[in-house]
Structure 1
Amino acid sequence: MSKTFTAGDVAEHKDAANGMYIIVDSTVYDVTNFIDEHPGGSKILKRVAGKDASKQFWKYHNEGVLKKYAAKLKVGSVGTGGEKAKL
């Protein structure tokens, strides 16, 4: 079941102890267990954990990457309360 998060909720998930979540186009992904598998290395995921990583994601990835990993990593979406995550 998909959960609705606020940007503040996601911001609390910025390290391994609390889980590492990122936002891409209003969808929240848990990258905690993916960090060591990320082909671009763990550093970038650690840098954007807890934030909206849409800009960085689309700079280096295409729609196929989301299709490949979304089912495994998606945990919810950001609600429509008008709050945006700050980079």
Structure 2
Amino acid sequence: MADKQFTVSDVAAHKTPEDGMYIIIDTNVYNITDFVDEHPGGKKILARVAGKDATKQFWKYHNEGVLKKYSPKLKVGTLKEESKL
């Protein structure tokens, strides 16, 4: 099954718990709505990057193992090729 494709503006529309909270890491899109309460760093940090590209912040504090662990549960798709700047 092909990944759902998102544009940057699709992701930007998902920045509140009511709309669903999505973030971009590299070229993947993750739904973190139900994860904010579990996040060891607290929900405030995730609320700040919801609807945005969090790649830089993510890699500053996490390693590949974190992505491998949570990806199956949180990944909802990928960025459309033309939406990358």
TM-score range, shorter-chain basis? over 0.9
Partner of 1:67: 68
Partner of 2:43: 42
Contact 2:14 2:51 in 1 (8 A): yes
Percent identity for Structure 1 against Structure 2: 65
Residue deviations 1:31-73 (CA, integer Å, cap 9, x gap): 0000000000001100000000000000000000000000000
Structure 1: stretches of 5+ with no match in the other structure: none
| 4+ runs deviating over 2 angstroms | none
- TM-score scaled by structure 1? 0.93
Q: State how far apart, in whole Å, the 2-side matches of 1:22 and 1:82 are.
A: 15
Contact 2:29 2:77 in 1 (8 A): yes
Partner of 2:19: 18
- TM-score scaled by structure 2? 0.95
Structure 2: stretches of 5+ with no match in the other structure: none
